[in-house]
Amino acid sequence: MKKNAYSPSRRKFLGNAAAAAITPPFILRSLGSFGPGAQPGKRLRHASIGVGGMGAHDLQNFKSHPQVDIVAICDVDAGHLKSAAAVVPGARTYRDWRELLEKEKDNIDSVNVTVPDHNHFIIASHAIAAGKHVYCQKPLCHDVAEVRALTRAAVRAGVVTQLGTQVAATVGDRTGVQWLREGIVGKIKHAYLCSNRPGAVEAYRLVGPRPAKGETPPAELNWEIWTGTAPMRPYAPGIYHPTKWRAWQDFGTGWSGDIGCHIFDPVWKGLELKTPLSVTAEVQQSWRDSPARRGDTWPQSNHITWKFPPSERTDPGGLTVEWFDGEFYPPEEIRALYSVEKYPAESSILIGSEGALLIPHQGTPVLLPESKFKDHKRPDMQDQNHYHNFVNACLGGPGTESFFARSGPMTETVLLGTVAIRVPDTLLEWDAEHLKFPNHPEAEKYLRRSYRHGWDDIKV
């Protein structure tokens, strides 16, 4: 860490009145409702869309709120739907989310969208158009332009929203955010984010190629609706549904898109970032050298760099944020600020003018050097439930922390990385207001997709 003149630490919290300042001017901010808590006696009528995988976890969390009625559930896989129906026996069941939104439009107040990334936008935007509050899994959408459109739609509709970064409600992440807002480690110059999760490559970061021939989808799976907005591919077992869709550009958003919102979240909130000036990416050589892999799958290793303009909480020269996954690790001298051996596989570390802050994902933040900060008191707080915070906001309680007007610009930033991955080693200057790369317009085609015929009723 470079030693420089320590500036006096700032202790300043973000109040609701100042919250508008956290959103880029091109996205109007919806402040939502701020009150003492969920109004007693009120109930939220909720529908869950996607109830297998993470959806099962989401369903349990919504169900566990004492003021929630799960009215309806939906899944394209009849087996997953059946398992979920056993958890919420009173809920009506659907295989097609369009039918759910139509038939239940007068019976539900909110939905959660927990399907693969390529269909987040179409489902969430229809729910918002129907006036429903929306909890949407991370990353908010598959593409940058989708995020922008969904964020604007949510703000216009004035609905309550929450991005599915549930760790944001834990003491760990909230402590990190608070310490950054208090400026304990001074002005931040550099942040290193990483996800070097062992086993992830084998589990669901497939290399490809697709099998030469597809198979008839199993009877319990509606492959047409599963595919939704994406190009129709012949069904093949074990490589798309469930979980492994992440590997493919059609459906997933790569390693950084998958985990990036989680790791970025406390950094984004703590520094109140708005939008980067530029992005560039380095990728693993074997993917770079393979036209087949570049056309279809995501790399198994990425290193992304964003530059941000200076702000109140950053170094006067601005902020650099780097992301590392797979075979790319934060530099050894940075990991050594904590411990190279024990460095958390998923974490962020922020280098400031007065020290450094390590925020392990799902762990306890550490101020560095530890000897300097050993007497620093941790904030007195309890874990919260991210899902319950959303429900409480829908029921007239305090606003959510991961509302789309804040988490949308963060997701756009994460997804800019997925654009840069496809044009590696190229600095892309970002004109956020106009969704353009002025110095490299060829890359703008990766900001949006064309939807498959029949799924293109909403233009992005």
Ligand X SMILES: NC(=O)c1ccc[n+]([C@@H]2O[C@H](COP(=O)([O-])OP(=O)(O)OC[C@H]3O[C@@H](n4cnc5c(N)ncnc54)[C@H](O)[C@@H]3O)[C@@H](O)[C@H]2O)c1
Q: Which residues bind ligand X (CB under 6 A)?
A: 49-55, 74-77, 80, 97, 114-117, 119, 137-138, 164, 166, 225-226, 228, 241-243, 258
Q: Which is nearer to ligand X, 80 or 313 (CB)?
A: 80
Distance CA 355, CA 374 (A): 12
What is the spatial distance between Cα 172 and Cα 314, in angstroms, rounded to a whole number?
22
Identity of the residue, 121 or 179, whose beta carbon is nearer to ligand X in the bound complex: 121
Shortest Cβ 456–ligand X spacing (Å): 15
Strands of the sheet containing 302-308, edge to edge, are 366-368, 355-360, 346-352, 188-195, 319-325, 302-308, 278-283, 428-429
Smallest distance from the beta carbon of 93 to ligand X, in angstroms? 11
**Residue 252, φ and ψ in degrees, nearest 5:** -105, -175
**Distance in angstroms (rounded) separating the CA atoms of residues 341 and 361:** 17
If DSSP codes are grouped into helix, strand and coil, which group holds residue 325?
strand
Nearer to ligand X, 75 or 282 (CB): 75
Q: Which is nearer to ligand X, 99 or 425 (CB)?
A: 99
Number of alpha carbons in the 13 Å side-chain half-sphere of residue 451 = 21
Q: What type of residue sits at position 50?
A: G
Q: For ligand X, which is the closer residue by CB, 55 or 254?
A: 55
- Give me the least distance between CB of 370 and ligand X, in Å please: 29
Whole-number minimum distance, CB 297 to ligand X, in Å?
Answer: 17
Cα distance between residue 154 and residue 408, in whole Å: 10
- What is the C-alpha to C-alpha distance for residues 418 and 245, in angstroms, rounded to an integer? 16
Separation of CA 425 from chain center: 24
Report the residue number, 247 or 366, with the smaller CB distance to ligand X.
247
Q: How far is CA 228 from CA 3, 248, 454, in A?
A: 52, 15, 9
Considering the complex, what minimum distance in angstroms separates the CB of residue 163 from ligand X?
9
Minimum CB separation of residue 85 from ligand X in Å reads 12
Give the nearer residue to ligand X in terms of CB position, either 184 or 259.
259
For the bound state, the minimum distance from the C-beta of residue 162 to ligand X, rounded and expressed in Å, comes to 11
DSSP-assigned letter for residue 363: S
Q: Which residues pair with 96 in a beta bridge?
A: none
Residue pair 377/184 in contact by the 8 Å Cβ criterion: no
Task: Give the residue among 382, 386, 383, 394 at the shortest CA–CA distance from 37.
Answer: 394
User: Which is closer to ligand X, CB of 1 or CB of 230?
Assistant: 230
CB of 273 to ligand X, least distance (A): 20
Q: Which amino acid is at 155?
A: V
Nearer to ligand X, 207 or 239 (CB): 239
Closest distance of CB 355 from ligand X, Å:
30
Nearer to ligand X, 247 or 319 (CB): 247
Integer Cα distance of 409 and 425 in angstroms: 23
Q: How far is the CB of 266 from ligand X (least distance, A)?
A: 15
* Residue with Cβ nearer ligand X (179 or 251): 251
CA distance 117 to 204: 14
- Over the range 191-222, which residues count as b (16 or more CB within 10 Å of their CB) and which as e? bbbbbbbeebbeebbbebebeeeeeebeeebe
Residues sharing a CB contact under 8 Å with residue 315, sequence separation 6 or more, in sequence order = 187, 188, 189, 353
Least distance in angstroms from the C-beta of 336 to ligand X: 29
**Helices and strands per DSSP (H, E), number in the chain:** 15, 14
Tabulate helix, strand, coil % of the chain (nearest 5).
35, 20, 45
